A and B are shown apart, each in its own frame.
Chain A
């Protein structure tokens, strides 16, 4: 183990950042501003896109700084991150697209009056 310099300052900065992002998420989740909540963009509301992006930002902060991916060799980092990102992206796209398609079909079969 190399005697790297202490990262304590950086760790607290990342914690502060993650906390701020979480507070923003919770605030938006409680208030649900109509200008964001009642919109429609690429399959869902703008508010949900904001939540999703903030979540990915948080995931980046945890993986890069807390899990020290930043300090790993470039190709080790890529060997970990790329398969996960591509496989999950692939899965999510097709599964959600299909769910939407099924939903459009079954909605006609539901009677509400």
Chain B
């Protein structure tokens, strides 16, 4: 009689006389089951995003008007940068699967090269995401928030958004940024917006070319609504503050929830990429010192490869739901 002991010297519960359930090793199967549970976690997050998206179907920010930047170039370029990020991740998936393929043929040198490329791709993706976050947090045009939380933006007569600075009146500002040097050293203040509400109000009154755009989407034309002058003046009476950029409590592009979900979901995904890079690096060094060559198989590379592909898979969905749909 023999009890099943997980870590017996013979190889444990999974040895089963040499046969493996589904022809899969314990480690690989558990990696798959972990991936399943992680997939359900991400579905929960994206599902919550979808719920709020449908709830605020007529006011949700339009992604093309939010993510319009690419590094070193000024202008309005939606989608290009995130498409680049997607390619980086797909390509690092390709090098990963090439590493797995080389491992099956015991080609240590090729595994090293391909895993190295995968790690580099991961770092490029993380760096790109950091830049994406920085751009979103900094903001592009600035907006005004009303006392009921609505965000209004300003556009020129062609309907293109303009910065608040471009039309704000040059009246003197009575308020300076609170810093340690000029105030209480133990109190800090978030960065003040570039212009004050009073400057925006007067600037708007002085510039008849500038129009106001609300969050409300016309569901027929799928465009944000542009207000008439009288309506805009009524809106400005209820203005409470100037908003520049986005964080967890304010968002110049519209619903704060959008920023919350963006930071949370892309952040959670980015954390997966980060841990994927760490695991890849560990296995990369194991490959270099010949651990798997001695072991006689490269299944470990295959297992971390599964995780890495999963991270790519999640990005495919994040890309669709945040940027395309």
Contact = CB atoms under 8 A, between A and B. Distances in A.
A62 to B, nearest CB: 5
Interface string B24-44: 100001001001100110011
Interface in A1-29: 1-4, 6-8, 11-12, 15, 18-19, 22-23, 25-26, 28-29
Contacts of A6: 101, 104-105
Contacts of B298: 1
Contacts of A28: 324
Nearest to A18: B90
Interface of A: 1-4, 6-8, 11-12, 15, 18-19, 22-23, 25-26, 28-30, 32, 37-38, 44, 48, 51-52, 55, 58-59, 62-63, 65-68, 72-73, 75-76, 79-80, 83-84, 87-88, 91-92, 95-96, 98-100, 102-103, 106-107, 110, 112-113
Contacts of B260: none
A91 B100 CA distance: 34
A38 B221 CA distance: 7
Contacts of A103: 54-58
A99 B55 contact: yes
A24 B96 CA distance: 24
Contacts of A66: 93-94, 96-97, 305, 309, 312
Given A76-B24, A80-B32, A30 B78 contact: yes
A30 B22 CA distance: 45
Contacts of B225: 112
A95 B44 CA distance: 10
Contact of B98 (A11, A26, A95): A11
B86 interface: yes
Contact of B51 (A1, A18, A83, A98): A98
30 contacts: A1-B297, A2-B104, A6-B105, A7-B97, A15-B90, A19-B90, A23-B83, A29-B64, A29-B78, A30-B78, A48-B325, A55-B317, A62-B93, A62-B313, A62-B316, A66-B96, A66-B305, A72-B23, A72-B24, A73-B22, A76-B22, A80-B36, A84-B39, A84-B40, A87-B43, A95-B48, A95-B51, A100-B55, A102-B55, A103-B55
B47 A73 contact: no
Given A62-B312, A95-B51, A112 B214 contact: yes
Interface string B87-130: 10011011011101100110000000000000000000000000
Contact of A91 (B43, B52, B214): B43
Interface string B143-184: 000000000000000000000000000000000000000000
Interface in B198-232: 214, 216, 220-222, 225, 231
B241 interface: no
Given A80-B32, A92-B43, A52 B325 contact: yes
A-B pairs, top 7 by smallest CB distance, nearest first, are A99-B54, A76-B22, A99-B51, A1-B297, A55-B320, A26-B83, A95-B47
Nearest to B53: A99
B309 A62 contact: yes
Contacts of B214: 112
Q: Is the interface of A mostly helix, strand, loop or mixed?
A: helix
B87 A96 contact: no
Given A22-B83, A103-B56, A59 B32 contact: no
Interface string B50-70: 111111111100001000000
A106 to B, nearest CB: 7
Contacts of B53: 99
Given A1-B298, A76-B22, A100-B57, 18 more contacts: A1-B297, A4-B104, A11-B97, A19-B87, A23-B83, A25-B320, A29-B79, A29-B324, A38-B220, A59-B313, A66-B94, A66-B97, A67-B305, A76-B23, A79-B22, A96-B54, A99-B50, A103-B55
Contacts of B231: 113
B233 interface: no
Q: Max chain A CB contacts within 10 Å: which of B24, B55, B222?
A: B55
